[in-house]
Structure 1
Amino acid sequence: MSDCDWTVIQKAVGAEWDASIIPALSAYIEVPNQSPDFDPHWATNGLMEKAFHILIDWVKGQNLLGFSYEFMEVEGRTPFLLVEIAGTERTNNTVLMYGHMDKQPPLRPWAEGLDPHKAVMRDGKLYGRGAADDGYAIFSAITSVSVLQRHGIPHGRVVVVIEACEESGSFDLDYYMAQCKERIGNVDLIVCLDSGSLNYDQLWLTTSLRGVTGGVLNVQTLTEAMHSGVAGGVVPDTFRIARELLDRVEDSKTGTVLLPEAHCEIPDHVAKSMVSMKSVPFKQQFAMADGVSAEPGDNVELALRNFWKPSLTVTGANLPEPQIAGNVIRTLTSLKLSLRLPPLVDSGKAPRPWPSCSRRTRRTAPRFGLSPRCPATAARPQS
C-alpha cells in the first residue's frame, strides 16, 4: 500500500483480534499465574511458564519477518520474554514496547456468571483476570507490527519485553534489562502498554507516574484472644491502636497525607497543563456507589491529587468476616498499606510513617516495615 488506507488497517486489526487474539487471550485468562507477592509457589507450580507459552505460541504463529525471541529463565527469578523484530527498512531507530503477564489475585466474588479464571464474552467485552492488566500488551505490540508488514507499510526496528513480576514491584526487571541492554540498543520511543486513558476520543500521553512504597502494620497486645466481656476496657484493642497510628500518617477527615517528606513541589509546567482536564469527564471514570461523591474539588484539583500528591490506602487486613466474628478481643491486627508517592519523591528513600511507634508505652509493641517498590518517574518538560 503506497497510500495508507487506515480504515483497511483498522478492519484488519479488528479481524485479527476476533480470529486469533480473543481465543489466545481467553486461554491465558484461564491460567491462574498470580504475581509472586500473591503466590508463594510461583517458582514451582509451572503456571508462569504455562501462561507464557500461550503468549509465545501465538506470537510465533504471526509469521513476522525478521522475528526472533528468547524466553529467559534464571533460577530464583521470574521468567522474561524478549522479542526482536528487524526493521523492514534500514534504520538506526528502535521502538521498545513493554508489558507484563503476571496477574493480581482473583479478589472474589465477581458478578454472577463471571469468574476471574474463566474467560467470558459479554456485551462485546471479554471478562477475566489479567486480560486488561496486562495480558493484552503482547498482542497489541505484535499486531501493530504484523498488520504493517501484511499491508506493505515499512517500519523500523521493534523490541518487545514482557516481564512476570510487575504486580510485585518489578523486582527482576532491572536485572533483565541489564542483561538485554546490548540487544535492545538505543531506544527512540518507549511504548508502555500498562498505562491508561480516560477515553478513546484523544491520544493520551503518560508524562508522569506516581511511585509506591508498602508494608504491613502489625499491632499485638495479647498472646491469646479473650472474650470482650472479660477483657474489654482493660486490654487495649489492637484496631484502636492501628487507627491512632494511621492518623499520624493521614488526616482521616480529608485524606491528606501528613508526612512532609511524602510531598513534592508541583512543577509549573504541570500545573499549567492540568487546565486541559477541565474538558475531560475525569470524575465519571470511577464507579461510585449511589449517593457517594468524589473528594471535594474540580477536575483539575482532583487530577493533581491523583497524579502529583501522595495517598494512603489500606489494601488488606486480617479481620474475620462479620458473619463469623465472635465477641472477642483479637490478639493481632495486621493492615497491609500502600502509600502512593508523587513523581519527584524517591520511593527508595521513602518516608517511614512510624518513627514513634517504638516510643509507645510497653502495653503495645506494633511492628512495621516498609519495602520500597516502583520508583516514581516524571518526564522532563518539552521545550
Structure 2
Amino acid sequence: MSSYNEYFAGRRDEHLNELKEWLSIPSISALSEHKPDVNAAARWLADALTRAGMEKVEVHETKGHPIVYAEHLKAPGRPTVLIYGHYDVQPVDPLHLWTTPPFEPDVRDGKIFARGATDDKGQLFLHVKAVEAILRQEGELPVNLKFCVEGEEEVSGESLPAFLEANREKLKTDAVIISDSSLLEPGKPSICTGLRGLCSLEVTVTTAKTDLHSGLYGGAVPNALHALVALLDTLHDDQGRVAVEGFYEGVPVLSELEKADLASYNPDEKKLAADLGLDALYGEEGYSFTERTGARPTLELNGVWGGFQGEGTKTVIPKEAHAKITCRLVGAQDPQATLDRIESHLRKHIQPGAKLRIVQGEKALAFTCDPSDPMLQLAADAYEEVYGARAVFTKDGGSIPVVATFARVLEAPVVMMGFGLPDENLHAPDEHFSLDNLDKGLLTIVNYLHKVGQGASK
C-alpha cells in the first residue's frame, strides 16, 4: 500500500479542492427551489466518474431527482461490486448556528466543514477517488465495478426503489458497498450488520363538537386530552415492554454470540446517562442500552398536543387531542401488520364517548445480514490493515430503508463501510468530515477492492 500512500499524499490538496467544489453545490432535495442545484450535483458526479475512468456513465432522469449510474466491467471471472451513495443533502437551518456558510467549505482543525461533508458527499467522494487511483496506478480494476447514486435519500424518495426493480439485471452484483455511516469512535471502525425498520401513525382523539367550559361541563363529559393520555398509557407495561398484542411477532431471540458482540461496545450506562443530563436510562427491562437501541423494537411518542397552550389559564375541556407515534422494528417484524395491530389496540382501549381517527404513515422493513459473509469479513480485514483495529460488527438503531431494498432486490450482501464519526453534526449546523478518515478511507477502500479481487482468484 506504500505506493498508494504516496499517491494520495501527493494529491491531497487537489482532492480537497475537488471535494470543496462539489460541497459548494446546495443540492437540498427537500426544497423545490434547489432542484437546479440537485441536478448540478448529479452532473458534477457524472463528470467526476468519467474523469476517474468509469465507463457508461449515465444520468437517469426520474419523476424526482436524477440517478447517476456508471460501470467498469473489465475483470472477467472476478466479483462485481456496486457502490451506492447519495449526493443530496439536508436543509441548513438554523443558518445562524453555522460558524462558516454551509456551502462555502472550510478546512479547520483537521476537518472539512460544509453541508454534505459527512452525509454523504464526502464519504461517496472517497470511492470515486479510490477507483481513480487504482486505474491511474495499475491501469485496471481488481473487480468489476458499478456505481448507483441517488438524489432523494434525504427525502425518502421513491425513484431509487423503482429504478432497482426495473434494472435488476443491469445492477446485478456480488456485494453492495455503502459508505453512509460512522466509526464507533476515532480509530475504531465498525460494520453495521443490522438496521431497524420503521412505521409511523398519527392519532387524533375527538369528543364534543366544540371546546366546553370546564365549570359547566367538567367531570360530566369526556375530555379529549384525558382520553388520549389514558389511551397512550396502555401502549406499554410497567417493565417497558410494548403491550400491543402480537407486537413482538418476528422479533428474533438474541444468541449468546450476538449478545457478546453487542456487549463489546455497550457504553458505560451511568456515564452515558450523566452525559445526557439524565438521572438514569430507561427502557425494556432485561436488556442493555446497546441491545435496546440496536436489537429490540420500540414504540415511541414523538409528539403529543391539544387544548389551550397559550399564556395563562383557559378553563376549557378540549374537543380534540393528537399524538404522533413511530416504531423501530427488528428481524422479521412486518411494518403493515405492526400498524394494524397498534390501530386495533387503540380502538379497543379508547374511552367511551371519545372518537378515534388514525392515519397510518411510512413503512420500512428492517435490515440484517450475516457478519460471517466473506464480503463483510474482507471489509473488516481491510479496515484492520489501515486503522490498526479490526472493524466491530454492530447493529444500528436507525433506519435506512434503501439498504433493505438493495439486499432484497439484488439478493446480495450489503457491506456498510462507514468513515464518518458520530459527532460530525450530520443534519445539523457545522457538519464536518475528519480529514484523517478521508485519508484512511481512501486507503481502506483501495485495500478492500484488492482483497475482493484477490479472494476470487485463489
- TM band (smaller chain): 0.7 to 0.9
Aligned residue for 1:258, secondary structure, equals coil
**1:344-363 pair list within 5 angstroms:** 344-351=332-339, 352-359=341-348, 360-363=350-353
Deviation at 1:340, TM superposition (A): 0.2
Deviation at 1:130, TM superposition (A): 4.9
Aligned 8 A contact 2:81 2:176 in 1:
yes
Which moves more between the two structures, 173-182 or 122-131? 122-131
Residue matched to 1:144 = 130
Distance (Å, rounded) in 2 between the aligned partners of 1:350 and 1:94: 37
Aligned residue for 1:315, secondary structure, equals strand
Counterparts in 2 of 1:50 and 1:267: CA distance versus 1, 3 Å: same
Distance (Å, rounded) in 2 between the aligned partners of 1:255 and 1:60: 52
Q: Any gaps of 5 or more consecutive residues in structure 1?
A: 35-41
Aligned residue for 2:355, secondary structure, equals coil
Aligned residue for 1:182, secondary structure, equals coil
**1:21-100 pair list within 5 angstroms:** 21-28=19-26, 31-34=27-30, 45=32, 47-61=34-48, 63-74=51-62, 77-87=63-73, 89-100=75-86
Aligned 8 A contact 1:80 1:161 in 2:
no
Distance (Å, rounded) in 2 between the aligned partners of 1:285 and 1:9: 41
Deviation at 1:341, TM superposition (A): 0.6
Aligned 8 A contact 1:198 1:282 in 2:
no
Counterparts in 2 of 1:23 and 1:244: CA distance versus 1, 3 Å: farther
Distance (Å, rounded) in 1 between the aligned partners of 2:42 and 2:23: 8
The aligned amino acid for 2:342 is P
Residue matched to 2:456 = none
TM-score, reference length from structure 2: 0.66
Residue matched to 2:445 = none
Distance (Å, rounded) in 2 between the aligned partners of 1:98 and 1:287: 38
The aligned amino acid for 1:82 is V
The aligned amino acid for 2:29 is N
Distance (Å, rounded) in 2 between the aligned partners of 1:93 and 1:282: 43
**1:1-383 pair list within 5 angstroms:** 4-11=2-9, 14-28=12-26, 31-34=27-30, 45=32, 47-61=34-48, 63-74=51-62, 77-87=63-73, 89-103=75-89, 109=94, 112-113=97-98, 121=106, 123-125=109-111, 130-152=116-138, 154-155=140-141, 156-167=143-154, 169=156, 171-185=158-172, 187-226=173-212, 232-251=218-237, 255-259=240-244, 261-263=246-248, 264-268=251-255, 269-277=257-265, 288-295=275-282, 301-317=288-304, 327=314, 328-351=316-339, 352-359=341-348, 360-371=350-361, 373-380=363-370, 382=372
Deviation at 1:170, TM superposition (A): 5.1
Distance (Å, rounded) in 1 between the aligned partners of 2:298 and 2:11: 39
Aligned residue for 1:262, secondary structure, equals coil
Q: Any gaps of 5 or more consecutive residues in structure 2?
A: 374-458
Aligned residue for 2:343, secondary structure, equals coil
Aligned 8 A contact 1:215 1:369 in 2:
yes
Which moves more between the two structures, 57-66 or 201-210? 57-66
Counterparts in 2 of 1:194 and 1:243: CA distance versus 1, 3 Å: farther
Counterparts in 2 of 1:112 and 1:57: CA distance versus 1, 3 Å: closer
Distance (Å, rounded) in 2 between the aligned partners of 1:149 and 1:132: 25
Distance (Å, rounded) in 2 between the aligned partners of 1:7 and 1:325: 66
Whose RCO is larger (CA < 8 A, sep 6+)?
Answer: 2
The aligned amino acid for 2:13 is A
Aligned 8 A contact 1:117 1:128 in 2:
yes
Counterparts in 2 of 1:189 and 1:220: CA distance versus 1, 3 Å: same
Distance (Å, rounded) in 1 between the aligned partners of 2:7 and 2:134: 8
Aligned 8 A contact 2:202 2:325 in 1:
yes
Counterparts in 2 of 1:19 and 1:381: CA distance versus 1, 3 Å: closer
The aligned amino acid for 1:132 is T
Deviation at 1:338, TM superposition (A): 1.3
Amino-acid identity (%): 20
Distance (Å, rounded) in 1 between the aligned partners of 2:74 and 2:332: 39
Deviations 1:17-70 (A, max 9, x none): 521213421333xx4422xxxxxxx6xx35345224224314404612133333
TM-score, reference length from structure 1: 0.77
Which moves more between the two structures, 223-232 or 307-316? 223-232
Deviation at 1:301, TM superposition (A): 1.8
Aligned 8 A contact 2:23 2:114 in 1:
no
RMSD: 3.9
The aligned amino acid for 1:259 is V
